[in-house]
Amino acid sequence: MKNLELKVKLRSFDDIHINLQKLKAEYQWTRHQIDHYFQVPQGRLKIRLQDHSPAELVSYLRPDQPDMKLSNYSIFPHENPELLIQTLSLCLPLSVKIEKMRSLYLWKNVRIHLDDVKHLGFFLEFEAVESPEYILQENENHLTFLIDRLNLNHKDFVQVGYHDLLMNQNNH
């Protein structure tokens, strides 16, 4: 599967919830999530544990760049995350664990995540899902519209994922 992604560092969620309501973005849920990242030779591989939902094994390839980026990903739901973590840990070193509270909103084909990430702070993340009715150019238009309507500043765009942000923070 493919989506067009963008991550933005925020100071708080104060105005974002109100602006999402004005845009008629549909609130879906808020969940506590813990992502266990494994060291792999290419891309990213994580197991996501989350409240009130099956665990997920997620793999993805995505370039590190500060603007919109195309991501290729695959998600495999799994009912026994402890066994999955144990099995993968036999061959792949665990890299880092990311803990967050995530709220999900939907606007057209865009998943909007509001993440309060432990040790990193507040982030907004867009994922515009590619499909036959939503091609890359339309997804770019959707994200550009949302950036403008939510008054997001390009200097706050984040080049890398939470994994790299936390790893870089721990190395300093």
pLDDT tens profile 125-157: 999 999 888 888 899 999 999 999 999 999 999
Domain count, the chain: 1
- Note whether 127 and 139 are within 8 A (CB): no
Joined tokens for residue 10: 């925020």
CATH of the domain at 22: 2.40.320.10
CA atoms within 13 A on the CB side of 168: 8
CB atoms within 10 A of CB 138: 16
Percent of residues, the chain, with pLDDT higher than 90: 82
**pLDDT confidence of 172, banded at 50, 70, 90?**
low
The pLDDT assigned to 24 comes to 97
What's the domain range around 54? 2-170
- Note whether 168 and 95 are within 8 A (CB): no
Beta-strand (E) ranges in the chain? 2-10, 26-38, 44-50, 55-61, 69-78, 94-107, 110-117, 121-129, 157-158
pLDDT tens-place string over residues 47-88 = 999 988 899 999 999 988 889 999 999 999 998 988 999 999
For residue 23, the one-letter residue type is L
* 85 Rama class: left (phi>0) / alpha (psi -120 to 50) / beta: alpha
Q: Is the pLDDT of residue 159 over 80?
A: yes
Torsion of CA 39, 40, 44, 45, to 10 degrees: -80
The pLDDT assigned to 58 comes to 97
d(CA 73, CA 22): 31
d(CA 146, CA 163): 25
Lowest mean pLDDT among 3-12, 121-130, 159-168: 159-168
